[in-house]
């Protein structure tokens, strides 16, 4: 790409302009979906003409790719910390879920894009490396579940692959209704969800 140099100030100025454009992309793609968002929409929202976007990006697909790259970098820096810690399985699982919830809070648009366009990422060859991270997430969480069953912290009578999907989907779908800065904060959501995930919704004295 013609716009990428590797010189200090000039490069970082350009990077930050790029990043601001990416945030605009994320907001629009989160709201309207990738297929229904046009490069003209993005240009208009960013205050330039669609053609000018191609100074920063090779294609509409590469805008999507950069959004996901940025999000995955954030997520995996933190997932790796939790996974390599010596916490108990239950505490590790709580940690993983907290990281995911923090992403929903701080990178709301990007997470929505990641969720909404996951099919596209899986099917398009270009995004194979991005889609592979979903398998990494599954490996990490099912590993924690197995360990927790071994220690007796988790129930042994559940299919691990079903429990994994239950956990993954209940947490990530929060992004579809949670609004950063709204009345209900992410800490309150985390408290309720962790409580329901671990203890269920039925009364203990039922």
Partner DNA sequence: GTCTATAGCGTGATAGAC
Partner DNA sequence: GTCTATCACGCTATAGAC
Interacting residues with DNA (CB under 7 A): 3, 10, 13-14, 17, 37-40, 43, 48-52, 54-55, 58-61
**The token pair that represents 154 in the structure block:** 């988790």
Q: Give, as one character, the DSSP assignment of residue 51.
A: G
Task: Kindly report each contact of residues 58-65 with a partner whose C-beta sits within 8 Å and lies 24 or more positions away, as own/partner.
Answer: 58/1, 60/34, 61/124, 61/126, 63/21, 63/22, 63/25, 63/29, 64/25, 64/29, 64/34, 64/113, 64/117, 64/120, 65/126, 65/127, 65/130
Residue pointed to by tokens 């240009």: 43
With contact defined as beta carbons under 8 Å apart, do 108 and 180 qualify? Answer: yes
With contact defined as beta carbons under 8 Å apart, do 45 and 27 qualify? Answer: yes
**Is 50 or 116 the residue whose CB approaches a second copy more closely?**
116
Q: Give, as one character, the DSSP assignment of residue 180.
A: T
With contact defined as beta carbons under 8 Å apart, do 65 and 127 qualify? Answer: yes
**Is 56 or 172 the residue whose CB approaches DNA more closely?**
56
The rounded distance, in Å, linking the Cα atoms of 143 and 141 is 5
**Is 8 or 206 the residue whose CB approaches a second copy more closely?**
206
Is residue 203 close enough to count as binding a second copy by CB under 8 A?
A: yes
**Is 57 or 164 the residue whose CB approaches DNA more closely?**
57
User: What is the smallest separation between the CB atom of 69 and a second copy, expressed in angstroms?
Assistant: 23
User: What is the smallest separation between the CB atom of 127 and a second copy, expressed in angstroms?
Assistant: 15
Q: How many chain residues bind a second copy (CB under 8 A)?
A: 41
Is residue 182 close enough to count as binding a second copy by CB under 8 A?
A: no
The single residue among 3, 13, 35, 150 that binds a second copy, judged by CB under 8 A, is 35
Site for a second copy in 73-112 (CB under 8 A): 90
The rounded distance, in Å, linking the Cα atoms of 128 and 80 is 21
Quick note: the x/- pattern for a second copy over 147-176, rule CB under 8 A, is -----xxxxxxxx--xx-xxx-xx--xx-x
User: What is the smallest separation between the CB atom of 173 and a second copy, expressed in angstroms?
Assistant: 4
User: What is the smallest separation between the CB atom of 195 and a second copy, expressed in angstroms?
Assistant: 7
Q: Residue numbers of the site for a second copy (CB under 8 A)?
A: 33, 35-36, 90, 119, 152-159, 162-163, 165-167, 169-170, 173-174, 176-177, 184, 188-189, 192-193, 195-206
């Amino acid at each position: 790409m013609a716009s990428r140099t590797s010189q200090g100030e000039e490069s970082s100025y350009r990077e930050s302009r790029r990043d601001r454009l990416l945030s605009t992309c994320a907001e629009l793609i989160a709201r309207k979906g990738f297929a229904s968002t046009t490069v003209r929409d993005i240009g208009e929202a960013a205050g330039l003409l669609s053609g000018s976007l191609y100074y920063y990006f090779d294609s509409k697909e590469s805008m999507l790719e950069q959004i996901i790259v940025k999000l995955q970098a954030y997520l995996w820096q933190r997932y790796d910390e939790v996974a390599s810690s010596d916490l108990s399985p239950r505490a590790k699982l709580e940690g993983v879920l907290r990281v995911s919830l923090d992403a929903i809070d701080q990178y709301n648009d990007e997470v929505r894009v990641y969720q909404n366009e996951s099919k596209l990422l899986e099917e398009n060859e270009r995004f194979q490396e991005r889609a592979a991270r979903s398998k990494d997430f599954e490996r990490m969480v099912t590993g924690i579940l197995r360990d927790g069953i071994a220690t007796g912290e988790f129930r042994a009578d559940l299919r691990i692959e079903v429990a994994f999907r239950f956990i993954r989907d209940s947490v990530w779908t929060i992004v579809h209704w949670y609004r950063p800065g709204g009345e209900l904060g992410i800490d309150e959501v985390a408290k309720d969800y962790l409580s329901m995930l671990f203890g269920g919704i039925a009364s203990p004295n039922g």
